[in-house]
Amino acid sequence: MQIRRMNRDDITQVCAIENSTFSHPWSEESFLDAVNAEKDIYLVAEEEGSICGYCGLWGIAGEGQITNVAVSEQYRNKGYAGQLLCCLLQLGKEAGLYDFTLEVRVSNAPAIHLYHKLGFKDAGIRKDFYEKPKEDAIIMWLQDKQ
């Protein structure tokens, strides 16, 4: 498995994973905008020419807003999400970002466990943040002590 920056040629495969994972998936145009944005970092995990997962963040005022983390169903439980996030956080720090935030469904126990393992702390709840099904989100932060 190789982790690298997402490019426009990856977007069709990324959107297939996005559409099968999220109830409100991003469009191809949204991913293309993110790939082309100077302060954003989007990565893919690739195995034998197939995209098996991806993640990304928006760099805003010294902070990284993690927007997407997904792994194709057949590649789950192999540590790919953790490897992608570790690489994303490292690249974010190298780009001058030191605090990272994300939202996660309160019912997504595997993701919450992974984020806690990476050092993220629960910071609050966004009521009814998700739809289909309607659900609260946990706001999480990882703050570097610089």
* Catalytic positions: 103, 115
Write the CB contacts of 8 (distance below 8 Å, at least 6 apart in sequence).
32, 35
Long-range (24+ apart) CB contacts under 8 A made by 7-10 are: 7/35, 8/32, 8/35, 10/44, 10/51, 10/54
Write the CB contacts of 118 (distance below 8 Å, at least 6 apart in sequence).
82, 85, 86, 89, 142
d(CA 26, CA 5) in angstroms, rounded, equals 18
